[in-house]
Chain A
Amino acid sequence: MSDFAISAKDLVKQFKSSNGGLTAIDNLSLQVKAGETYGLIGPDGAGKTTTIRVVLGLLTRTKGESSILGLDSMRDTYEIRERIGYIAQQFVLPADLTVMENMLFFAKIQGVASDQQKKRIPELLAFAGLTNFTGRLAGQLSGGMKKKLALACSLVHEPQVVLLDEPTLGVDPVSRREFWNLLGNLRVEKGLTVFVCTPYMDEAERCTRVGLMYAGKLIADDTPANIKKMVSGELLEIAPSDFVSARKLVASLSCVKELQTYGDKLHVFVDNGARCKSEVEAALASHGIQHEEIRQIEVRMEEAFISLIRQRIEINSREEK
């Protein structure tokens, strides 16, 4: 048993296939405390969705331990279902049911007593801003409203933990922010534990803790602020007139540790921003390349993600050789 809302220890998931199989989760350990909002991020195919499914007991694990609220993913599957909410990737609500019918449908599936339904459903609809749309067919809601309805449905049985797999995919920034404001309110008002996979790095910044997954392994597990600090050095932004020549030139400078392209700008990781700035300026000047004022900028989760994943790709390819 564990005191954590979600716990995995040395978790392994292998998929067998005719050509040898695949290790989707590779000795993964993580712990999420009650009331945390934990974001799992990583490139396509890193194993994020498989992790959620194994922890939920939808897939069997190959080795290791996994539990939710102290309940074992494989043994206590039904108890887990009763106490958690889950929005699967690209989950679609029944489109030919109204908002209210959807809520009632999910309440029945979860065995919520009818007096409880009468109390909770109006609360949840008000909370999700759907009170005026109870008679509308789910299929005719906007993308953002569908996601909010899915969240409301997943909360109808008052779960302590929700697991959300890319819940805002394809949703516009205004609706995404509303969705995340709802999650924030649930955290402060009800102490809800949220475990979420997301491809949006700005959403990862809104988590209390972030796990960065690559090739089945957790390669970082910390607060957003600390993950950004894992990228060593300072970040300079250069906007050159001749992008192609500037990229080649800047990459060859000894003070440059890593170079990322950002549209027609270069993002350069360096040890010492001030010193390298003058080195870059001198190099560009000697090649007659114009540029705007070189700025030192904050590392965002996006730059950290790219940098940390690239390092890992390099390490892995070196190990293969």
Chain B
Amino acid sequence: MNDAKKPAIMVEELTKHFGEFVAVDHVNFSVNEGEIFGWLGPNGAGKTTTIRMLLGLIKPTSGRMSVLGFDPAKETKTMQAQVGYMSQQFTLYNELTARENIRFYGRVYGLSPAALDQRQDELLQMAGLSGRANVLTGSLSGGWKQRLALGCAIVHRPQVVFLDEPTAGVDPISRREFWELIYDMAKQGVTILVTTHYMDEAELCQRVGFISAGKLVAMDSPARLKQTQMHGRVLEIGSPAPDRVMSVLKSAQQNGDMPLDEVALYGAQIHAVIPNSENYRDAIRQILETDGIPITSLEWIEPTLEDVFISAVSERPSL
């Protein structure tokens, strides 16, 4: 990757067993200083377990890791002082004001009252909460709370920040605002590792890793993943009779007449994932025409990162 910068996070052959269960299975990756790295995978794939090891909260079964040059399992305290963490279930005290929450976390991280006076104003401004500093946290909306939680998580100016589904359940406008903050931090050299179930957010990461059943199955920039990891191509079929298209293609899939990875309804259209060849497009046209089903359009469309993600986690052997 980029040799000019040294990696802030490094993971080699990282493995974690819980009894018989292998939660993380020989995973390798590194994240450069100032990079935004998306750590993506289905529920239960091992994303949070990886983060918990990197935070020094649980010990790996085998493998090596380093965060800012420290071993999270051995130099836990020193490392934690320079690392921030925010999860979906972050704890803010609803009966404290926004300012009091920041001050509380600041004291937990050992900031002096004088240092806090300056830092709290910076963070309130960053989170867009300057006008609401004295509002009880419980009465803030979801987007405000999320930004306040981020402020609390970085009160000690960490150089690496782990964000575990930080935007779950937040509306698109608030999510964009949150990502502006993430980008601002990265520009100041902070390294970000973030998990998300929103694929539009995954597109905002400079690099993403897909983890499935504990194994890393793909890792690259979102644009490159779309070129290299998509198994087949997405054909969009428009028809006034989508129900008939669905049933004909589903039976073609079940009979093995057509190598269809997926057939699914998207509003008024149908998306079919088929091998990348005009022959297959023609074959689909033929199947539908034979059954007398009217077709209004039959177009190849760009796969979304979600298409790529599903293709990668369901088809591919691990790296």
Contacts and interface: CB of A to CB of B under 8 A. Distances in A.
Interface of A: 37, 42-45, 142-144, 166, 169-177, 180-181, 184-185, 187-189, 199-202, 205-208, 223-225, 243, 260-264, 300, 302, 305-306, 309-310
B44 A142 contact: yes
Contacts of A223: 267-268
Interface residues of B, number: 45
B169 A177 contact: no
Contacts of B203: 263
Given A170-B169, A264-B183, A302-B172, A200 B88 contact: no
A245 to B, nearest CB: 12
Interface string B112-140: 00000000000000000000000000000
Nearest to B182: A263
A209 B204 CA distance: 28
B257 interface: no
14 contacts: A43-B173, A43-B174, A44-B174, A170-B165, A173-B306, A174-B309, A177-B306, A187-B265, A188-B242, A188-B247, A199-B169, A205-B266, A225-B267, A305-B172
A202 B199 contact: yes
Interface in B221-271: 242-243, 246-247, 264-268
A206 B266 contact: yes
B14 to A, nearest CB: 21
A224 B267 contact: yes
B197 interface: yes
B36 to A, nearest CB: 8
B200 A174 contact: no
Contacts, number: 116
A224 B314 CA distance: 28
B316 interface: no
B197 A202 contact: no
Contacts of B304: 202
B58 to A, nearest CB: 21
B176 interface: yes
Interface in B272-309: 304, 306, 309
Nearest to B41: A172
Contacts of B169: 166, 169-170, 199
Complex A-B, nearest 8 residue pairs according to Cβ-Cβ distance, in ascending order: A184-B265, A188-B243, A263-B204, A172-B42, A43-B171, A143-B43, A172-B43, A174-B42
B68 interface: no
Interface of B: 36, 41-45, 88, 141-143, 165, 168-174, 176, 179-180, 183, 187, 197-200, 203-205, 242-243, 246-247, 264-268, 304, 306, 309-310, 313-314
Nearest to A46: B171
B43 A144 contact: yes
A45 B265 contact: no
Contacts of A173: 42, 197, 199, 306, 309-310
Contacts of B36: 263
Given A166-B169, A181-B264, A199-B171, 18 more contacts: A43-B173, A144-B42, A171-B43, A173-B309, A180-B264, A188-B242, A188-B247, A199-B169, A199-B172, A201-B200, A206-B267, A207-B267, A208-B268, A223-B267, A262-B176, A262-B204, A263-B204, A302-B200
